[in-house]
Structure 1
């Protein structure tokens, strides 16, 4: 089953990563505000983490979209997981190592809480682990999304043992079961508590959307635009409703994210120059997601020392997001792509994606 490159989804990957960067840049201004005596950028009316919800839905969509022909094939789980590990591990391990080295050499700059060697090992192995009391995150905090991705990949790989329809039924049942455990029992065991978050439903939303796509579901451009606008409106926080994370976040943010992804995936494609440029940025979205903290933190210090309080910190958010985006393109070209080629060559031809398969989402990746 051939899977052609979906430019709309690639563009949406770029948008999702950019939302996360803007949110983190705004967070940096809280520290800058104390140093400069200027108000921090108040962008709190928007859930900028909505980019992660979009990534999770995209991930579910692309896994089914690109791997539908693997269902029921002998050794499919091994092929799938090998490709996923090649795509996710090299850059993440490299940047995690860089963060650990930086934390040892410049602890005052990075301020990375490292509990013990077990937590470090769990971070490399994508096993949920407590970073500090009450916070289940790896050494690189934003890598929590990759821990969730890897859990989904394992469930997906198990479902590949069955023919397509039965495999999708097994996957749906597994994800619903974990989400139900989380909602009904709120387990305290660290790994089960993490894996049973309602956010896991967002992967299922993407999977079911891909099934609809493969069965011919499409949207006209006007309908897609309206659906996308409704979805993006869902990222606005409702006073009195959206405060601390809740057990229902997978529905609260996942449903609007599904509308956004559906608008992109099911709408007519375009090959205009602007779309191609944004799709190219979507290719670099994994680098943007992982590398932007390494760009924002030094830039924050540069801004404090050389720009000072002469310009609104909202301008910093815009400048920092733009510089992080450009920097991620360089990381993608000079680090991510060479690492990907090396890993594919090391693991052999069977690890390579078919020529027709699009760049796969990471999580976001």
Structure 2
């Protein structure tokens, strides 16, 4: 399945997957930031949180699948050049990220200039996309939504090291065992975190004694980093996507109903009430809980793309997914003022914020993200 230049053919179904993941995250954020959650039943609030968790996990699994599918070694494939790969990844994420990170920084400079001047390390971490690589609770986050890009950049750095071992899986059975192991590893880590949480929190408090009078704040920050934003745990989702792509390249397609079954499983995980005393599920929902079904969905959609995946609007949203994601603080949060004036208007405000985000995201992708990527890649292309 290759083009005449040796590049693998585009998988339409995965473009549809990316567009759907972008809409899921956008919906979760719009409802969480705009709707009056205090009036909602607790199970519904939990489902809304899981909706965002699902979408972001989908991006991480999909990233591993697409990168390995694109850069897997094989006969007739172009050679893998780490420098060119790094430049392509930089061209893909940094122009729009840098623009919006600077916009967020400008907001801080207007509202709280002392925060930026007092924490230069936070500025360096934000601009270098390393803000999730370390737990630094006393350092303010200047562009909070950028955490997912920081985590993704870590995946890009380790991909050249992981590419060959995944490609060495010799058979479908080996690929299945590898995928299963990569799914089991974070779940085992989650079980250990759930069991050892008091000791882990005591360790964090000992290293950040300034939070002795604000232990609840430290607990929330540490739990968020440990289970949700740090790349060292979430890399397993990326690896699972890589192993699933290896299965696909080995000829594994799965039954025709695989995509539907995966979607049903994901919907059940989002909607099902979790037992209040099972801390493990709260930990796992922050990272690997959805990965098995997401990997199955990738495999099913790669083999059999549904008709909507080929729609021009779906492809446009898939291409603009990064811009749509990073824009959300700027295009969603202003709409939260409408329900404060008109309490029953939150559905209209949420819909308006989502429409504005998609519209501005498409324009930003077309005018900034795509042209900047082309220029960077042209700059790095060998002459002659």
Q: Which has more radius of gyration?
A: 2
Distance 1:216 1:137, change over 3 A: farther
Number of the residue aligned with 1:81: 86
1:114–1:139 contact (8 Å) kept in structure 2 = no
Per the alignment, residue 353 of structure 1 pairs with none
Whole-angstrom CA distance in 1 between matches of 2:30 and 2:143: 17
Is the counterpart of residue 94 in structure 1 residue 129 in structure 2?
Answer: no
Aligned pairs for 1:3-14 (under 5 A) are 3-14=8-19
Q: Is the 8 A contact 2:15 2:309 kept in 1?
A: no
Partner of 1:276: 312
1:116 maps to 119
Where do residues 1-365 of structure 1 align in structure 2 (5 Å cutoff)? 1-29=6-34, 33=36, 39=39, 43-44=44-45, 45-46=47-48, 47-49=50-52, 50-69=54-73, 76-107=81-112, 116-127=119-130, 128-130=133-135, 132-133=137-138, 138-160=141-163, 164-165=167-168, 183=192, 194-197=230-233, 199-240=234-275, 245-246=282-283, 249-266=286-303, 268-270=304-306, 275-301=311-337, 303-304=338-339, 308-309=341-342, 311-348=344-381
- Match of 2:275, SS state, is coil
Aligned-pair CA distance for 1:196: 2.8
Instruction: Tell whether the 8 Å contact from 1:291 to 1:331 is kept in structure 2 after alignment.
Output: no
Q: Which moved more, 1:74-83 or 1:64-73?
A: 64-73
Runs of 5+ in structure 1 lacking a partner?
Answer: 351-365
**Once the 2 structures are TM-superposed, how far is the Cα of residue 178 of structure 1 from its aligned partner?**
8.8
Distance 2:166 2:60 in 1: 24
Tell me if structure 1 keeps the 8 A contact 2:108–2:115: yes
Number of aligned residues: 334
Q: Distance in 2 between matches of 1:230 and 1:125?
A: 37
**Does the aligned pair in 1 maintain the 2:308–2:314 contact within 8 Å?**
no
Provide, for residues 91-132 of structure 1, a one-character-per-residue CA deviation record: whole Å limited to 9, x for no partner.
Answer: 111111111012212459xx9988611121012222224464
* CA–CA separation in structure 2 for the residues paired with 1:230 and 1:176: 16
Change (3 A) 1:69 1:334: same
Q: Which has the higher helix share?
A: 2
Runs of 4+ with >6 A deviation = 70-75, 111-115, 166-169, 174-178, 184-187
Alignment check: 8 A CA contact 1:20 1:52 kept = yes
TM-superposed deviation, 1:202: 0.9
The 1:80–1:89 alpha-carbon spacing in structure 2 relative to 1, beyond 3 Å, is same
Change (3 A) 1:304 1:292: same
Q: 1:240-277 deviations in whole A, cap 9, x for unaligned?
A: 257785267433222232233333223x2355686332
Shift of 1:335: 1.6
Question: Structure 1 residues 310 and 228, CA, compared in 2 at 3 Å: closer, same or farther?
Answer: closer
- Normalised to the residue count of structure 1, the TM-score between the two structures is 0.76
Which TM-score applies when normalising by structure 2?
0.72
Unpaired runs of at least 5, structure 2: 1-5, 208-221
Q: Give the 3-state SS of the residue equivalent to 1:54 in structure 2.
A: helix
Conserved in 1, the CA contact under 8 Å of 2:145 and 2:329? no
Does the 8 Å CA contact 1:54/1:261 hold for their aligned counterparts? no
C-alpha contact 2:91 2:374 (8 A) present in aligned 1: no
